[in-house]
Chain A
């Protein structure tokens, strides 16, 4: 097939049995018309995912081996290209487990908000999780900001409430005392 010169970029000549790199939507469109088969991404193998799951379970931090949109990518690939993924059921259940563990971590982090949090930093959050917590964090921080800014006189006798940066704590910076 001839090379495609699209607005989004140029995608090279398509020859049979040669691996070419294209954006996800193009790959899915071609797959739907039965013109190609999709190679699953590197992070989407049983071994890699089991590794990631172990890391997630052991540490409080988010694993950085998963791309930002891993939920969406895996969903699309399962819907359209299930036959191209080896051990599809295993991979799917691993991804579900990873999702649960990560979200649980996020939830426990969120419980640690108090009036003195001015910014929240979470490393390696994925797109799906961000969109789930976004309205909550926005409104919670807003409420804290509103109620906190009316305290114009800080209490000098209050002991510094420094949050220990211990390993079990998620890497969120609290810039207040």
Chain B
């Protein structure tokens, strides 16, 4: 059977195609995955998106099983399976990146209210168990044997002013980003004191390397995509 497929940005069809693909969950999941990968701190958990994607995947798994027993041509079964694998990969990778970030910064997450609210229920459960186990391990193996003033797992010693043994994510890393619309009024956080009040603007669809701190609220509201 010969069928011809077209791939590429043919101008007349490009807009329709873009509109079509922008409405699927897979595209949203891909965006969330990319943002999560590029950001130095953990972002908000897209619980609605993930539940929808999970349902679709389960449905698709049932369909594939059905089709392979019924005896439809193996070509379409393998195509369905490929699509399923691709979506599963996105989902798994998204969850894995989040878990990696949790494991790196778990004490900090427990302490900070704002970040704690970004986790899903399962992640919160995981973080609690993780922090408890890790604390216990540290206390039993090392801290109980140190002199009195140095036994906290959060501070170097009782005289430290802050919790300096807790690793925090570095928010001043530079990230690559792109905005979809014309944005003005971004305050740049870094730089010499006299320049700090300068406002920055971003044109749509142009790539920028910029300090993550400066664009944090825009990433959360979805106006800027990280690459």
Contacts and interface: CB of A to CB of B under 8 A. Distances in A.
A21 B17 contact: yes
| Residue from the set B2, B173, B210 with the largest chain A CB neighbour count within 10 Å | B2
Contact of B79 (A29, A41, A67): A29
Interface residues of B, number: 53
Interface residues of A, number: 60
Contacts of A176: 191, 195
Nearest to B175: A138
Interface of B: 1-11, 13, 17, 20-21, 24-26, 53, 56-57, 60, 75-76, 78-80, 82-84, 86-87, 172-176, 188, 190-195, 198, 200, 206-211, 227
A164 interface: no
A70 to B, nearest CB: 10
Contact of A119 (B11, B83, B200): B200
Contacts of B2: 16-17, 35-37
Interface stretch (A50-58, A92-100, A147-155): A147-155
Given A40-B8, A42-B8, A175-B198, A119 B208 contact: yes
13 contacts: A8-B87, A20-B6, A21-B5, A35-B75, A38-B4, A42-B8, A118-B211, A123-B206, A138-B209, A145-B211, A148-B190, A175-B195, A175-B198
Given A21-B7, A154-B194, A175-B200, A119 B56 contact: no
A77 B164 CA distance: 53
Contacts of B78: 29
A149 B191 contact: yes
Contact of A1 (B76, B188, B191, B211): B76
B21 A9 contact: yes
Given A1-B3, A33-B75, A130-B207, 5 more contacts: A22-B7, A30-B79, A120-B209, A125-B207, A151-B192
Given A2-B76, A130-B207, A41 B9 contact: yes
A175 B2 CA distance: 56
B48 to A, nearest CB: 16
Contacts of A122: 206-207
Contacts of B87: 7-8
B194 to A, nearest CB: 5
Given A42-B11, A149-B191, A35 B6 contact: no
A138 B174 contact: yes
Contacts of A121: 206-209
B70 to A, nearest CB: 13
B190 A38 contact: no
Contacts of B53: 7
B173 A142 contact: yes
Nearest to A145: B190
Nearest to B192: A154
A49 interface: no
A4 B76 contact: yes
A6 interface: yes
A42 B10 contact: yes
Given A6-B80, A122-B207, A148-B192, A130 B176 contact: yes
A93 to B, nearest CB: 20
| Residue from the set B56, B60, B82, B176 with the largest chain A CB neighbour count within 10 Å | B176
